[in-house]
Structure 1
Amino acid sequence: MHHVVSATTNPAKIQAILQAFNEIFGEGSCHIESVSVESGVPEQPFGSPETRAGARNRVENARALRPQADFWVAIEAGIDEGSTFSWVVIENREQRGESRSATLPLPAVILEKVQAGDALGPVMSHYTGIDEIGRKEGAIGVFTAGMLTRTSVYHQAVILALSPFHNAVYR
């Protein structure tokens, strides 16, 4: 059984990681342990490089905290060019896989608040009345009328980031 350390305690992210690992390695083949670690970037990262750095830092910090694990996984959400997206970084002892998620354009009223210094989650909670929306369906769920959720978009990116770990062409 693979010991997978999730560098987050966010339920939407953990669910995406668990789903993807079960699909790639088989149902019940992984144990997910969630840990809270620092990203080393602002609470609301801006731009792809800063967001990717946050995910890489979380993996590094999770690896230092739980060095005995088989995999370390981080998902860092950010804002770039008026849209929200995430970077997924996965490492094992031999290699790294990375993938950027789909992007969701944000309405101007939301983007203005975020650019003024507020994190997207609290801004969305304010406008929707949904407490801790970032730990649930997120802005993606709201703006796609539930057709997509944070978990579903993260799931796809985790699957892509896992490609180097189960595909011999990468080796």
Structure 2
Amino acid sequence: MYHVVCATTNPSKIQAILQAFDEICGEGSCHIESVAVESGVPEQPFGNVETRTGARCRVINARKLRPAADFWVAIEAGIDEGSTFSWVVIENHSTRGESRSATLPLPAVILEKVKAGEALGPVMSAYTGIDKIGRKEGAIGVFTAGKLTRSSVYHQAVVLALSPFHNEIYR
């Protein structure tokens, strides 16, 4: 059984990671452990580089905290060019996989507040009245009328980031 350390305590991220690992490695083949670690970037990262750096730092910090694990996984959400997106970074002892999620364009009213220094989660909670929306369906769920959720978009990116671990051509 694989020991997979998730560098997050966010339920929507953990759900996506668990689902992807079950699909790729086999259902029940992984033990998922959630840990809270620092990203080394602001609470609301801006730009592709800062967001990917946050995911990479979370993996580094999770590896330091749980060095005996088989996999370390981080998902960092950010804002770039008026849209929200995430980077997924997965490492084992010899390989790294990375993938960027789909992007969701944000309305100007939301972007204004985020650019003024507020994090997207609290802005969306205030806008929708849904407490801790970032730990639930997120802005993606709201603006796609529930057709997509944070977890569903993260899931796809986690599957893509896992590709170097199960495709021999990468090795």
TM-score w.r.t. the length of structure 1 is 1.00
**RMSD, matched Cα:** 0.2
The structural deviation recorded for 1:59 is 0.1
Q: Which runs of 5+ in 2 are unaligned?
A: none
Matching residue of 1:62:
62
The DSSP-based 3-state class of the residue aligned with 1:28 is coil
Matching residue of 1:167:
167
- What amino acid is the match of 2:86? S
Matching residue of 1:109:
109
Q: Distance in 2 between matches of 1:155 and 1:26?
A: 15
Cα shift readout 1:57-90 (whole Å, capped 9, x = no counterpart): 0000000000000000000000000000000000
The correspondence of residues 88-99 of structure 1 with structure 2, limited to 5 A, is 88-99=88-99
Cα shift readout 1:72-109 (whole Å, capped 9, x = no counterpart): 00000000000000000000000100000000000000
The DSSP-based 3-state class of the residue aligned with 1:152 is helix
Q: Distance in 2 between matches of 1:166 and 1:32?
A: 19
The DSSP-based 3-state class of the residue aligned with 2:55 is helix
Question: How many residues matched?
Answer: 171
| Match status 1:78 vs 2:78 | yes
The correspondence of residues 136-151 of structure 1 with structure 2, limited to 5 A, is 136-151=136-151
Q: Distance in 1 between matches of 2:25 and 2:87?
A: 21
The structural deviation recorded for 1:136 is 0.1
Q: How many percent identity over aligned positions?
A: 85
Matching residue of 1:42:
42
- What amino acid is the match of 1:37? V
TM-score w.r.t. the length of structure 2 is 1.00
Q: Distance in 2 between matches of 1:138 and 1:112?
A: 18
The structural deviation recorded for 1:146 is 0.2
Q: Distance in 2 between matches of 1:119 and 1:19?
A: 27
Q: Distance in 1 between matches of 2:169 and 2:138?
A: 35
Matching residue of 1:9:
9
The structural deviation recorded for 1:128 is 0.1
Q: Distance in 2 between matches of 1:25 and 1:101?
A: 21
Q: Distance in 1 between matches of 2:142 and 2:63?
A: 34
Q: Distance in 2 between matches of 1:11 and 1:152?
A: 12
Matching residue of 1:25:
25
